Structure 1
Amino acid sequence: MNLNQLAARLQHIAPFHVMELSKKAAVLEQQGRHLIHMGIGEPDFTAPPAVVEAATRAMTEGKMQYTSATGLPQLRAAISDHYRSVYGLEIAPERIVVTAGASAALLLACAALVERDSEVLMPDPSYPCNRHFVAAFEGRAKLIASGPEHRFQLSAQMVREHWGSATRGVLLASPSNPTGTSILPDELRAIVGEVRQRGGFTIVDEIYQGLSYEGAPFSALSLGDDVVVINSFSKYFNMTGWRLGWLVLPPALVPQVEKLAQNLLICASSIAQHAAVACFTPQTLALYEERKAEFKRRRDYIVPALESLGFTVPVMPDGAFYVYADCSALADDADQLSLDMLNEAGVVLVPGLDFGPFTARRYIRLSYATSMENLQEAVARLRVFFEKRRKAA
């Protein structure tokens, strides 16, 4: 194939820079090095026994055919009931579209709402795939520098200042990857108001909403039926490889997204859908809450531990399982520091480069989705690493 025939949109979709770090880590492990991985955003917990049993039962009973493009009715009803019991919201099951992970949900939302050359506002730093979904539909992600004073999130004032003639909407994440910070409810309400006033769309990625550690449960769905919300079974529900998520849509948008799903995806895995119904039993939800408490315990350990090493954590992460730490007091370049920590200490962390240029060189992202023992061992290794650097300076 002549590479000149490739679609021009590929030029606007960058690879994960962190994959180069992962390749180096794999080489070290092949050489016999023991590494502690704190880069991957994946729970170390797996699907609860009831969920696995439901999947086994579905296969045994032959429930492996295509489902509706919008998902199993019983799963959509279970998600609706969950919104009622946890958030006090009445979300009609008909507004819920089950997808092949949150990635497919973002794909469908952008396919429905992003036009060629239209702009979508999002914060810098933010999860890189979000801007790449926009680019895939020939839109442009407009990254707005957001520091700790704004919790690394967009504000209503930023929306007012940066909304232009080509702007079509905003894509937010609360809590966020890489920062673990949420948009405060009043600020999110103001953002939605600004976007609504301009006739735009608001997409809110809430895949970490179940892992919020402070305050009462809150969803952007409480701000109006015109807000598009994305969620997933990967994080709170510990089902990463099952590839299952969902969209909550304005009623008028459901048939349009259903049409897209029928053509692009057919449906999410039927086995994963049957299994996911078991996520919402009282016993399984109680287990998820225990695991959530364990994530919070890890957060409460790792943040002061990082600060004792010389990192600065300017905003306490209130959700997800990430810490976004300023390393500028320790090194001039987060990329090089990440490589040095990998090679010398055997600790894998993610530099800020993937998440946008504003914080790229001075921040690292740490995932505490690993055992407390691993976190403690990583801190011990890093303490030795930085002591050696100070002595050598």
Structure 2
Amino acid sequence: MALKTGRGAEAPPFLVMDVIAAANARAASLPPGAYPDSLGILRMEVGQPGSGAPRGAAEAAIRALQAGNPMGYTEAFGLASLRARIAGHYRDRYGVTVAPSRIAVTVGASGAFPLAFLAAFDVGDRIAMAAPFYPPYANILTALGMVPQLLPCDAGTRFQPTLTMLEKLDPLPAGLIVASPCNPAGTMLSPEELAAIARWCHANGVRLVSDEIYHGLSYGTVAESTAVAFSDSAIVVNSFSKYFSMTGWRIGWLLLPEDLVRPVECLAQNLFISAPHVAQVAAEAAFDCREELEANKAGYARARAALLDGLPAAGFDRIAAADGAFYLWCDVGHLTNDSLEFCARMLEGAGIAASAGVDFDRERGSRFLRFSYCGPEAAMVQAPARLKAWLGR
């Protein structure tokens, strides 16, 4: 007799994780000096900063360990000192006053999303989001029995949802996820656009979930703003993984509306107990590492500029406005109608790992791919030359 499979098994795969495995295997099989530039496989598939945690954060963790700190459980919402520091971040960066009691320290943003979704939505609820989108939004919702409602966006809307688009929805969804800067396109909502969307959601009983994990990484003229400045009912998700370069430490946070504080706390107590204590110590110290973090950002900016300058000559000339984050979303419909196969050939032939667009947009992603440029700068700037040689340009 076949055994029952749970609902969670229905979640689609996060394909970029498969690309990581393929790139690792390809790198292991390469002979020394396989490429003239001696850089090996160029890792442009995943949004993982190549710099690692800032020195001050790592040193804070070392000091705590050497002092004999047992690193036991913290409160479910995290260390009081870290929550106060995050609240200070909102005051200093955005001019917004938030109570530390509304802040939940989480096991990365990845741990924040299921807490937010479970507290705010019911099984069967529809939650809207722009397409293309960060795959785990839809995959987590699907695993929880909720229904992703995709809003097809393109260059005409800068790959972001618009108020006009939302006003046409009938019936209204239970929630809306926005991201600014967004993954994969790197585009941003202006403060005025975010304010209009946040106020529309609040007025219409649509729970807004604002993914702000790429805040601190913007390069153009669009200013960063936080949804909490415009709505008391919005949920904000953030993380130490991107600007703070602390992916493997698995540390993030939620900024919650008052009505969800206790429900999320109860869920966190049962699902996670607490975020890792040592990671919380390091995260608090990371706020004092701005000089190093801004130097990392300057490196991303240089890599971004080199790619935007060099990729068109290599045949990648249809790129979304890269306002922030560290991604380039490229329309490669003139090169392929199968981005998954194209990326596999690119890894084999050019030694470049990139993410196929089908991971981010199941309907139209076969003609798109995403390059991440947060790896070592020397490797990132070499990509156009490799692509040009591979495509015979």
Tell me, what secondary structure is at the counterpart of 2:366?
coil
Corresponding residue for residue 23 of structure 2: 25
Distance 2:2 2:41 in 1: 38
Shift in Å, 1:9: 4.5
Aligned pair 1:272/2:279, yes or no? yes
Distance 1:78-1:8 versus aligned 2 partners, 3 A rule: closer
Q: Is 1:156 the equivalent of 2:163?
A: yes
- CA 1:294/1:195 → structure 2, altered by over 3 Å: closer, same or farther? same
Match of 1:52 among 14, 36, 58: 58
Instruction: Give the secondary-structure state (helix, strand or coil) at the position aligned to 1:67.
Output: coil
Matches within 5 A, 1:305-344: 305-344=310-349
Q: Which amino acid aligns with 1:58?
A: A
Separation of aligned partners in 2, 1:201 and 1:378 = 41
> Which residue number corresponds to residue 213 of structure 2?
207
How far did 1:372 drift?
2.6
Please state whether the residue corresponding to 2:30 is helix, strand or coil. Answer: coil
1:173-212 to structure 2, matched below 5 A, reads: 173-212=179-218
Aligned length: 383
Q: Which moved more, 1:306-315 or 1:233-242?
A: 306-315
1:377 aligned residue? 382
Q: Give the alignment of 1:219-298 within 5 angstroms.
A: 219-281=226-288, 284-298=289-303
Q: Evaluate the alpha carbon distance shift between residue 3 and residue 271 of structure 1 in structure 2; reply closer, same or farther with a 3 A threshold.
A: farther
Per the alignment, in what secondary structure is the counterpart of residue 198 of structure 2? helix
CA shift in 2, pair 1:185/1:19, >3 Å: same
Shift of 1:201: 0.3
Q: Displacement, 1:241?
A: 0.5
Asked if structure 2 preserves the Cα contact closer than 8 Å seen for 1:303 and 1:313, the reply is no
Give distance in 2, aligned partners of 1:225 and 1:340: 48
Asked if 2 retains the 8 angstrom alpha-carbon contact of 1:125 and 1:358, the reply is: no
Shift of 1:82: 1.2
CA distance in structure 1 between the aligned counterparts of 2:24 and 2:54, rounded to whole angstroms: 29
CA RMSD of aligned residues (A): 1.7
> What displacement does 1:20 show?
4.2
**More displaced 10-residue stretch of structure 1: 45-54 or 191-200:** 191-200
Give the superposition deviation at 1:116.
1.0
Identity %: 38
**SS across alignment from 1:211:** coil
Q: Identify the residue that residue 70 of structure 1 maps to in structure 2.
A: 77
User: C-alpha distance in 2, partners of 1:94/1:227?
Assistant: 15
Measure, in 1, the Cα distance between the counterparts of 2:224 and 2:382.
Answer: 33
The answer (yes or no) to whether the contact 1:311–1:329 under 8 Å persists in 2 is no
**What residue number does 2:115 align with?**
108
Alignment deviations for residues 58-85 of structure 1 (CA, whole Å, 9 cap, x no partner): 2223330111111111101111111111
Q: Give CA deviations for 1:20-47 in whole Å, capped at 9, x if unaligned.
A: 4444333332322532111111001111
* CA deviation map 1:92-121 (0-9, x unaligned): 111111001001111100110121111000
| Partner SS for 2:149 | strand
The ranges of structure 1 where at least 4 consecutive aligned residues each deviate by more than 6 angstroms after the TM superposition are none
Give the TM-score normalised by the residue count of structure 1.
0.93
What is the CA–CA distance in structure 2 between the aligned matches of 1:217 and 1:82, rounded to whole Å? Answer: 14
Q: Which runs of 5+ in 2 are unaligned?
A: 32-39
CA distance in 2, matches of 1:3, 1:294: 53
Q: Report the Cα distance in structure 2 between the residues aligned to 1:15 and 1:272, rounded to whole angstroms.
A: 27
User: Is the contact made by 2:7 and 2:144 (CA closer than 8 Å) also made in structure 1?
Assistant: no
Gaps of 5+ in 1: none
Deviation at 1:313, TM superposition (A): 3.4
For 2:22, give the aligned amino acid: K
Deviation at 1:3, TM superposition (A): 5.2
Q: 2:81 corresponds to which letter in structure 1?
A: Q
Instruction: Quote the residue 2:7 is aligned against.
Output: 8
Whether contact under 8 Å (1:124, 1:358) holds in the other structure is no
Say if 1:96 and 1:248, in contact at 8 Å, map to a contact too. yes
Amino acid at match of 1:175: P
| Distance of 1:375 and 1:317 partners within structure 2 | 16
Q: Distance in 2 between matches of 1:27 and 1:49?
A: 30
